[in-house]
Structure 1
Amino acid sequence: MSSAVPSASGAVPSASGAVPSAAGAAPAVPCPKAPAPVVSRPPRPSPPPGVPQDRAVGGPELATAGLVVPAGVARPPAVTATSWLVADLDSGQVLGGCGPHEYGTPASVQKLLLAATMLPRLDPKQVVTVTAGDMDIEPGSSAVGLVRGGRYRIETIWLGLLLQSGNEAANALARLGGGPAGMAGGVRAMNEEAHRLGALQTHAVTPSGLDGRGQFTSAYDLALIARACFADPTFRRYALTETHRIPAQPALRTKGFEIQNENQLVYRYPGALGGKTGFTDLARHTYVGAAQRGGRRLVVTLLGAEPRPARGWEQGAALLDWGFSLPRGAAVGRLVEPGELNASAAATPPAPAATSTPRPAAASGPIEDGLAGRWPTAALAAAVAALLAAGLLLRRRRTTRRRS
């Protein structure tokens, strides 16, 4: 058994301190929240329509806007994150979470989805040339320092992505792995990989995690993506790399320089396995980190955090400590296996059309990155509902948001 209590992720507590939950669910006490400074941020995007079956992926107890932990365990630490999850990388058990299936904005932790998608596709020893399109990133956003026309091994670009969160590195890797469609093909492949992993609430618009219309994820989905990354020995090596030298480009008259891993968990947490940091004004601080202790490997994911009174990695470390303190077997759900949901959908007999409940149609509106052809419009809503009722439509949804 577990206890589930809603979070303060937008709901208004009643006079008793309870928070309204989903229709038909009893309200309960909010998640433990650390006091955070009031900050100015762009308007939050409207999330996609809620889909009950997506919120229950991994187990019905995870379908809560609030705290879900095993019964009788110590209360988790108070953090500023609006949602989080702790899971076992090996068994897939979900140890606990706060709004695990609540939509959030990913920022640079989306680069983990890029890694899960492109690491198997790209030869790390291949030398490639950085293009002008790769360098088209938001001014002032994180960059590793690659130069247009520079020639680098793909391994160097990966390390620039994972150590320094280089957005130009993300563009280059998405382009290189995207086939004839280039970067747009890379983003399309990321969304296909998210679907394969069971991350049904994740939709990428940019390869880097820079904010884009209709771009969302959840703490649960990030755990699925991180699990896929940490199953790759090459990723594990990159994630624990502390420094790397970016080579000089003599033909372009640029000198070489050294970069450092910006994930402080690597240096300050015993047993750290690495992870990824993220930040945009809209997403606030996001974090994914993993560590091993006592023969267990745990991962923590968090979205929407503020850096005071503790930075994102410190909040992650506190939640990892809490997870390691739980007895083995204490769980509230599980991480689904890659391909599991697709196989389940294929094996499920079609429901009679007259009694089926169609999924919400995707919001209509302009679509970015050349992906419009993958998403239904309002004019196709009836056809989409019929396909869904027949069990023939994969769970792909696109939604738009206001520009901030």
Structure 2
Amino acid sequence: MRRPLAALIAGLLATPLFLIPAPAAAADIPCPKPKVAAPSRPPRPAVPADDPADLAVGGDALATHGLVVPEGSPKPPAITASTWLVADLDTGEVLGACDPHGYQTPASVQKTLLAATAIDQLDPKQVVTVTRGDLDIEPGSSAVGLIVGGKYPISTLWLGLLLNSGNDAANALARVAGGGGKDGVANTVAAMNALAASLGANQTHAVTPSGLDGKGQFTSAYDLALIGRVCLNNADFRKYALTRTAQMPAQKTASRKVGGFQFQNENKLIYNYPGALGGKTGFTQLARHSYVGGAERGGRRLVVTVLGAEARPLRGWEQGAKLLDWGFSLPKGTSVGNLVTPEEVAAAQATTDAGEAAAPAPGEKAGNTRPGAPRGLSVAAAISVAVVLTAAPLLLLLTQRRRRRLSREMPRSPSRAR
């Protein structure tokens, strides 16, 4: 005997969502990997638990820890990277990815977030005097060779940061950008995290400006693409990142005299990939190899991000090059998702803030909202659901789809580094 509609509605409203069985999730598609022996590597740090809303930023298809590529597309290259993503710099279309929102340790690609935060704030002609604190970096880690008391133009520090991955240059730039005092680096790291949030890079948390490992420091292939998009659209960043060699000026201080020297760009993509736009390499024992880069071909500009890679059989930049080739082979308009824009993030946050301001206090009755019902679900909405749905599992499916739609509208907000 069919239950009366009123009884069905009452039953649906009374059933807690956590008691409704969820539909089986589709299995993740494995990402192509080369057949090489697994290298010895440090244990992976504990990562935050997945947030379903964060996983769906950029589109439902990106909410996977496996491979996502357009239907009918050629198979992407087999690479050692744990996670990667390829996107169109101009349209923001995501062409394909492997575990796009998986938490990873950034290493020196984090320097792109420092650049995105401070490159427009600092006068490239300003001369900076290096302090002892600027050289407070892990022994043996990458440095461009600054000396205490030395005087260097900001432009030279950017070159030292992006060509030679100087952690000393990162500290000096962060200190000056943050006001120049003892709290300068901390202020800049806070600004880096604020910028990441404004971009929709919800899984990025900086602890150091250089990418030297720090507890709780993470990013994702998707977030790195958002940050890389900002950098590669900046003319000054491209100018520095495409510079092949630079000169460190001679220094004479009260205690020592050091001659000038030349240093080179470690991003081999700019030497070997036609149309390269620049980028940044990274490595720590914990993070392994990371890479962000861009290139232009046939009127299209793509950005590629690689995290958690090994140097054999292909180095990080070579893995990036293989992915760029694959991305350029896809027709224009191909997409499995999109890179959110700061404007979309700001608009969604404003909408959310307005909704929260209008929401009733916990337990308070408001209009036709049923006390104890899921927030935002009115009795009228529940009746509509009940008319369409005939089983409790379908109610959960609808709820999950609604949450994913909202997440698209509102993105939520240690070792040697080189």
TM-score normalised per structure 2:
0.79
- 2:53 aligns with 53
The answer to whether structure 1 residue 327 and structure 2 residue 327 are counterparts is no
1:78-108 superposed Cα distances (whole Å, 9 cap, x missing partner)? 0100100000001111000000000000000
The answer to whether structure 1 residue 313 and structure 2 residue 340 are counterparts is no
Residue 278 of structure 2 aligns with an amino acid whose one-letter code is G
- 1:301 aligns with 305
Q: What stretches of structure 1 of length at least 5 have no aligned partner?
A: 1-21, 358-392
Deviation at 1:235, TM superposition (A): 0.5
Inter-partner Cα distance in structure 2 for 1:23 and 1:157:
54
Taking structure 1 as reference, are residues 339 and 172 closer, same or farther at Cα in structure 2, changes over 3 Å only?
A: farther
Inter-partner Cα distance in structure 1 for 2:273 and 2:23:
41
The answer to whether structure 1 residue 256 and structure 2 residue 260 are counterparts is yes
Whether the 8 Å contact between 2:54 and 2:412 is mirrored in structure 1 is no
- 1:238 aligns with 240
Whether the 8 Å contact between 1:35 and 1:80 is mirrored in structure 2 is no
Deviation at 1:29, TM superposition (A): 3.6
Inter-partner Cα distance in structure 2 for 1:219 and 1:270:
23
1:143-199 superposed Cα distances (whole Å, 9 cap, x missing partner)? 001111100000000000000000011111111111253111110010001011110
Residue 144 of structure 1 aligns with an amino acid whose one-letter code is V
Whether the 8 Å contact between 1:36 and 1:306 is mirrored in structure 2 is no
**DSSP 3-state at the match of 1:286:** strand
- 1:371 aligns with none
Inter-partner Cα distance in structure 2 for 1:355 and 1:243:
63
- 2:95 aligns with 95
Where do 1:342-357 residues align within 5 Å? Answer: 342-348=346-352, 349-350=355-356, 353=362, 354-355=372-373
Deviation at 1:303, TM superposition (A): 0.5
* Greater share of helix: 2
Inter-partner Cα distance in structure 1 for 2:192 and 2:209:
8
- 1:140 aligns with 140
Deviation at 1:28, TM superposition (A): 4.4
Which stretches of structure 1, 4 residues or longer, exceed 4 Å deviation after superposition? 351-357, 393-396
What percent identity do the matched residue pairs reach?
Answer: 66
**DSSP 3-state at the match of 2:286:** coil
Inter-partner Cα distance in structure 1 for 2:119 and 2:150:
21
Inter-partner Cα distance in structure 1 for 2:130 and 2:325:
41
Inter-partner Cα distance in structure 1 for 2:196 and 2:28:
32
Q: What stretches of structure 2 of length at least 5 have no aligned partner?
A: 1-21, 363-371, 376-409
Whether the 8 Å contact between 1:37 and 1:306 is mirrored in structure 2 is no
Whether the 8 Å contact between 2:107 and 2:284 is mirrored in structure 1 is yes
Inter-partner Cα distance in structure 1 for 2:23 and 2:219:
23
1:109-159 superposed Cα distances (whole Å, 9 cap, x missing partner)? 000000000101111100010111100000000000111110000000000
Whether the 8 Å contact between 2:129 and 2:152 is mirrored in structure 1 is yes
- 1:19 aligns with none
Inter-partner Cα distance in structure 1 for 2:161 and 2:331:
36
1:40-82 superposed Cα distances (whole Å, 9 cap, x missing partner)? 3222111112111111111111110010011111010101001
Which of 179, 182, 185 in structure 1 is aligned with 2:184? 182
- 2:249 aligns with 247
Whether the 8 Å contact between 1:37 and 1:308 is mirrored in structure 2 is no
Whether the 8 Å contact between 2:70 and 2:96 is mirrored in structure 1 is yes
Taking structure 1 as reference, are residues 91 and 159 closer, same or farther at Cα in structure 2, changes over 3 Å only?
A: same
Inter-partner Cα distance in structure 2 for 1:236 and 1:42:
34
Whether the 8 Å contact between 2:200 and 2:412 is mirrored in structure 1 is no
- 1:272 aligns with 276
Deviation at 1:232, TM superposition (A): 1.0
Relative contact order higher in (CA < 8 Å, ≥ 6 apart):
2
- 1:226 aligns with 228
Q: Which has the larger radius of gyration?
A: 2
Q: CA RMSD in A?
A: 1.9
Inter-partner Cα distance in structure 2 for 1:291 and 1:130:
34
**DSSP 3-state at the match of 1:134:** helix
Whether the 8 Å contact between 1:41 and 1:281 is mirrored in structure 2 is yes
Inter-partner Cα distance in structure 2 for 1:331 and 1:247:
47
User: Which stretch shifts more, 334-343 or 94-103?
Assistant: 334-343
Residue 51 of structure 2 aligns with an amino acid whose one-letter code is V
Deviation at 1:340, TM superposition (A): 2.1
Deviation at 1:38, TM superposition (A): 2.8
Inter-partner Cα distance in structure 2 for 1:355 and 1:293:
53
Taking structure 1 as reference, are residues 146 and 355 closer, same or farther at Cα in structure 2, changes over 3 Å only?
A: farther
Inter-partner Cα distance in structure 2 for 1:232 and 1:305:
27
**DSSP 3-state at the match of 2:76:** coil
TM-score normalised per structure 1:
0.81
- 2:397 aligns with none
Inter-partner Cα distance in structure 2 for 1:135 and 1:245:
19
Whether the 8 Å contact between 2:202 and 2:411 is mirrored in structure 1 is no
Whether the 8 Å contact between 1:35 and 1:309 is mirrored in structure 2 is no
Deviation at 1:316, TM superposition (A): 0.5
**DSSP 3-state at the match of 1:114:** helix
Taking structure 1 as reference, are residues 152 and 41 closer, same or farther at Cα in structure 2, changes over 3 Å only?
A: same
Inter-partner Cα distance in structure 1 for 2:411 and 2:337:
23
**DSSP 3-state at the match of 2:49:** coil
Aligned residues: 341
Residue 218 of structure 1 aligns with an amino acid whose one-letter code is S
The answer to whether structure 1 residue 25 and structure 2 residue 29 are counterparts is no
**DSSP 3-state at the match of 2:132:** coil
Inter-partner Cα distance in structure 1 for 2:174 and 2:198:
18
